Chain A
Amino acid sequence: MSNFISKSMREVFSETMIEIAKKDERVIVIVADISHGLFKNFRKIFPSRYYNIGICEPSIVNLAAGLCKVGLIPFVHTIAPFLIQRSYEQIKLDFGYQNLNINLVSVGSSFDYSKLGCSHHCYEDVANLKHFKRSKIFIPGNSNELYKMILNNYQKKNINYFRLSEFQNKKPILKNGFVVKKGKDVTIVVLGHSLDLVLTASDKLEKDSINTEIIYFNQINNVDMKNLATSVKKTNKLICIEELSNKGGLFEDCLKELSEIKFRSDHLAITDFIHKYGTYKELASSAGFNVNNIVKKVKNLIK
């Protein structure tokens, strides 16, 4: 299995689970009445290792701690707000405080369930989990990235959070903090599946002779950010684009990393509930995640 470009992250998640479960009999999948169609094959191959427990997320997360006690490796899967926020105390106490290992896998990203309203949106999950020293937060921009992330990390003694999105970048970038494009005028730091939007904006900016350097992240919390300082020392300007709450995300980490450098900065993130229905693209655009707004922000920054 190496190329998943045509597949959704959810499909790749379920296929990856079969691959690792074949090799590692400790792996158990628990879902809260979601993705059961996608896990049909998994359930067929490993009937005693798949549980669609029901709609009771805090108990499911807590139950996973009990599975850890007998040496199993649980994956708990449901929609982001219910997995992380409804179950936050369970993650904090049952895994953080007790040093147990869990793999949390969400779908829905920040507002993929755009027409379902704010109950199904989740912008603050990453900020919530960043509080735990042992949390590893994976925000893949592409299915191939997700596959590698799960494979390389699931068995490590961490609170692993894999945050799946419906939308993905055309090409995978397998290295966190990778300089996707070299430039001299402004550093754009971008998280996960917002990369393609930034690449389009960057092409537009090039036509106006604005040369952007783009650094891509698909993992946050205690990660290597050394390419960032090198870049911002050169450009003296930073704009961070992350489809997350404007507090507690990647921008905060950038500022910390760059504390000894003088630079101008701007931030595109989610400032409040996106209190609307509509398509994902319409919601994203209304929150500022559109090419014209990114172009405008960059131009303002380099004025």
Chain B
Amino acid sequence: MNKDLRKKILEVVKRAKEGHIPSSFSIVDILDYLYANVINYSKSNPYKPDRDFFYLSKGHASVALFVVLNKYKLLTNSDLLSYGNLNSKLGGHPDMTKLKFVEASTGSLGHGFPTAIGTALGLKIKKIQSKVYVLVGDGECHEGTVWESANIASNNKLNNICAIVDWNKSASQLMPIENLKDKWKAFGWRVINMNGHSTISFKKNFDKFLNYNGKKPTVIIADTIKGKGSKLIEGHGIWHHKIPNENEYHNILKTIE
């Protein structure tokens, strides 16, 4: 569990008075691992045709992506500090027209995922060996376009895509009949279960994708905790889109220490 990235998320959101802290805490460990070990990118050439693509389909966790891009020097400190300002490249949802290393302007749930499927198909058409990674929320899986596209991916044998579902139990707050794994399996995907906050688990499971020779698209169901890292904001309470005041900020910070 990465404490420094969590502290940065908290600080950035508090300063701008915008952002989704628990959703960002839920995925930040996965993103950190992906950028450190999995995604093939070129710092000097963000649009390299044979790069791996990463789509953050649950765009409201943008701050997690921004702090990770910043950690790997794909986003400057001054850009990160400008988050939410009038002329900033960074806001509550990522914008691909403003920011390199952001592949889609997500925010409306159920958009990044079909784009990722299109990219996976496009790479196949162009015979490029790169991979596509797309992170969707479990709540986002309420959207019909997720399942339409899941159907498209398996039927077109897009084995170059790895979807990661941030299974932080948001969906089951509203729709308790979940069967997430069965659903993906029924749609023709290869399903892998993963602990969403453990580096050992990340290595084991992303390697499974990278070493896969079959024809199915892969989905990794990442068992995560919304707000993971601070007991104060964990779970599905008021903190989803709440901005901490000075006092709350220090209290949350203490729980991350």
Contact = CB atoms under 8 A, between A and B. Distances in A.
Interface in A94-118: 94, 97-99
Name the residue in B53, B126, B156 with the highest tally of chain A Cβ atoms < 10 Å from its Cβ: B126
Nearest to A64: B118
Given A66-B120, A72-B122, A56 B148 contact: yes
Contacts of B128: 70
A143 interface: no
A63 B121 contact: yes
Contacts of A56: 145, 148-149, 151-152
A21 B78 CA distance: 45
B68 interface: no
Nearest to A61: B114
Interface string A57-80: 011001111111111100000000
Contact of A62 (B49, B96, B105, B114): B114
A53 interface: yes
Contacts of B103: 69
B148 A94 contact: no
A97 to B, nearest CB: 5
Interface in B58-105: 96-97, 103-105
B121 A66 contact: yes
B118 A66 contact: yes
B126 A63 contact: no
Q: Range of interface residues on chain B?
A: 20 to 34
Contacts of A98: 96-97, 104-105
A120 interface: no
Contacts of B170: none
Contacts, number: 97
A68 B118 CA distance: 8
From DSSP, what is the main secondary structure of chain A's interface residues? helix
Nearest to A69: B119
A62 B150 CA distance: 13
Nearest to B134: A66
B194 interface: no
Interface string B109-134: 00100111111111101101000000
B255 interface: no
A90 interface: yes
B210 to A, nearest CB: 20
Interface string B221-249: 00000000000000000000000000000
B125 A72 contact: yes
Interface string B137-154: 000000011001101100
A63 B49 CA distance: 18
A69 B120 CA distance: 10
B201 interface: no
A229 B116 CA distance: 48
A139 interface: no
A51 B128 CA distance: 19
Contact of B111 (A28, A67, A71, A94): A94
B151 A65 contact: no
Contact of A89 (B108, B115, B122): B108
A59 B105 contact: no
A49 interface: yes
Contacts of A278: none
A2 interface: no
Contacts of A28: 122, 125
B152 A63 contact: yes
A59 B49 contact: no
B123 A70 contact: yes
Interface string A115-130: 0000000000000000
A63 B118 contact: yes
A59 B145 contact: yes
B132 to A, nearest CB: 8
A72 B107 CA distance: 24
A66 B119 contact: yes
Contacts of A71: 49, 122, 126
Nearest to B106: A93
Name the residue in A51, A63, A66, A98 with the highest tally of chain B Cβ atoms < 10 Å from its Cβ: A66
Nearest to A59: B148
Nearest to A87: B145
A32 to B, nearest CB: 11
A66 B53 CA distance: 10
Contacts of A69: 53, 103-104, 115, 118-119, 122
B199 interface: no
A68 B151 CA distance: 21
A28 B124 CA distance: 13
A66 B122 contact: yes
Contacts of A6: none
17 contacts: A54-B148, A56-B145, A58-B114, A59-B117, A62-B115, A63-B152, A65-B104, A66-B117, A66-B118, A69-B118, A69-B119, A69-B122, A71-B49, A72-B122, A72-B126, A97-B97, A98-B96
Interface of A: 28, 48-49, 51, 53-54, 56, 58-59, 62-72, 89-90, 93-94, 97-99
